[in-house]
Amino acid sequence: MSFPISPVIAQAAAPQPQGGGMSMIIMMVVLFGLMYFMMIRPQMKRQKEHRALIAGLAKGDEVVTNGGIAGRVDEVGETFVTVEIAANVKVKVQKGAVQQVLPKGSLKSA
């Protein structure tokens, strides 16, 4: 049993008008600019502030580390900081682990 199959005639698609490429490039540039001002620039600003914070560490500063340990800076090395968290209890942490510097006298009030 044979089914008659009518021949399918393939037609070429109508040519699309050119000029969509320029609007695509403009849209990509605008998208990149938006991403830069919304994501990249604020992150760079935070990194710059953190580097300044670490460079300004001095003995006697009261700090909080990324792990939540609060203490007073006892010694500042090139890559490490010794933080006194209680009487005669000192912890050595990397400078990058210091999250913030507290105002003087913050630890005594806590």
CATH of the domain at 103: 2.30.30.60
Q: Quote the pLDDT of residue 18.
A: 64
Q: Which domain holds residue 67?
A: 57-108
Q: Which long-range contacts (CB under 8 A, 24 or more apart) does 52-57 make?
A: 53/98, 53/100, 53/101, 54/95, 54/96, 54/98, 56/101, 57/81, 57/95, 57/98, 57/101
* Mean pLDDT of the 33-59 span: 94
Number of domains in the chain: 1
pLDDT at 23: 87
Find out whether 61 and 73 touch, Cβ atoms under 8 Å. Answer: yes
The verdict on residue 34 lying in a domain is no
Beta bridge partners of 101: 63
The reply to whether 69 falls in a domain is yes
Q: Which helix (H) or strand (E) holds 100?
A: strand 98-102
Output 22 or 49, whichever has higher pLDDT.
Answer: 49
Does any domain span residue 23? no
pLDDT, average across residues 81-103: 95
Q: CA–CA separation, 82 vs 79, rounded Å?
A: 10
Assigned domain for 62 exists: yes
Higher pLDDT, 109 or 101: 101
Residue 13 lies in a domain: no
> Does the pLDDT of residue 52 top 60, yes or no?
yes
Q: Does residue 68 form part of some domain?
A: yes
Side-chain half-sphere CA neighbours of 47 within 13 A: 6
Q: Average pLDDT of 29-34?
A: 94
Does residue 94 belong to any structural domain of this protein?
yes
Confidence of residue 22 (pLDDT cuts 50, 70, 90): confident
Q: Which amino acid is at 80?
A: F
